[in-house]
Amino acid sequence: MQLRTTLSAFALSSAVLLSGCQNMSPDAMLQSGLMAVQAATLSDAEVKSMSDQACAEMDANANIAGPETSYGKRLNKIAANLGNQVNGTPVNYKVYLDEEVNAWAMANGCVRVYSGLMDAMNDNEVEGVLGHEMGHVALGHTKKAMQTAYATSAARNAAASSGNTTLAALSSSELGALGEQLVNAQFSQSQETAADNFSFDFLTERNIPREGLVTAFEKLAKLSGGESSMFSSHPGSTERANNMRNRLAAK
């Protein structure tokens, strides 16, 4: 009895924190809170399934470069160097024709780079950036981001829920919103630094020059006046470039 009371209290408080809605009924708040609890315990298979769906929705709404375009050919070359898996997770790459300087990855190995970033960087710099994104996948950061994004989406839609506590099925619009949350996820300072170092080690293992990691961060610093919206500003791009430069000097 005490366990049920504690869980109910946690669920109710989670619903309020996640939704920010003062007009939800107690039942909807409880349902939202239970979904929040569930989100924190999503299995790897569930995270992969949701990432598959969110990535597919993002792709459906993007202008993707074909394999025979200049961007497609460049990415194929970069992908051949990086390989088609990271820590056992299959990786698939695509270029979005978008002038934003951006790149991201999801827990299922969905890796996307924008043409704006490819225009701003050479191939080795793109390799460094994608290695960083793959680091978020390998280190479990993208799984945690999916859990957070799903909890938020579930809370916002709890009022329309059928009342069951199984993994909620999301509509196309909800999947699109979920994907946007993942693309714009802000990682912690320790996560960003860990992903940077993962990329350095990953490139080393594949005999890919690491200098691109230094110059990529330097370019991001210039493009954003010292910080970049593509990466969390904790730490900043200049500091990250220095970290990579120091690691190069130590080898």
Give the pLDDT confidence of 74-130 residue by residue, as tens digits. Answer: 999 999 999 999 989 999 999 999 999 999 999 999 999 999 999 999 999 999 999
pLDDT computed for residue 168 by the predictor: 54
Active-site residue, from 127, 133, 174, 192: 133
Percent of the chain with pLDDT over 90: 49
Whether 133 has a pLDDT exceeding 80, the answer reads: yes
pLDDT of residue 126: 98
Q: Which residue has the higher pLDDT, 234 or 134?
A: 134
**107 belongs to a structural domain:** yes
User: Regarding predicted confidence, which is higher, 116 or 37?
Assistant: 116
Q: How far apart are CA 78 and CA 193, in angstroms?
A: 23
pLDDT at 185: 82
The whole-number pLDDT of residue 151 equals 76
Is residue 86 within 8 A of residue 185, CB to CB? The reply is no
pLDDT at 230: 59
pTM value?
A: 0.79
Q: What is the largest distance, in Å, between two alpha-carbon atoms of the chain?
A: 64
Domain range enclosing 60:
46-141+186-250
Residue 148 maps to a domain: no
Calpha distance 137→118 (Å, rounded): 21
Q: pLDDT at position 44, please?
A: 86
Does 204 have pLDDT greater than 90?
yes
Q: How confident is the model at residue 239 (pLDDT cuts 50, 70, 90)?
A: confident
Q: Identify which of 26-30, 49-53, 123-127, 166-170 has the greatest average pLDDT.
A: 123-127
- Split into its structural domains, the chain has a count of 1
Residue 209, pLDDT > 60, answer yes
H-state helical runs in 61-188: 70-82, 115-120, 123-138, 141-156, 172-183
Residue 18 pLDDT: 39
Residue 238 lies in a domain: yes
User: C-alpha angle with apex 144: 243 to 61, nearest 5 degrees?
Assistant: 95
Whose tokens are 């890796």? That residue is: 111
Tell me the pLDDT band of 152, cut-offs 50, 70 and 90. Answer: confident
Task: State residue 236's pLDDT score.
Answer: 79
157 is a domain residue: no
Q: Residue 191 domain-assigned? A: yes
Task: Confirm whether 131 is domain-assigned.
Answer: yes
In a domain, 11, yes or no: no
Token pair for 214: 């230094």
- Rounded CA-CA distance 136/144 in Å is 10
The whole-angstrom separation of Cα 106 and Cα 183 is 8
| Per-residue pLDDT band at 3 (split at 50, 70, 90) | very low
Confidence of residue 35 (pLDDT cuts 50, 70, 90): low
- pLDDT (mean) for 212-219: 93
Of 21-25, 65-69, 195-199, 208-212, the least confident: 21-25
Judge whether 8 lies within some domain: no
Active site residue 133: yes
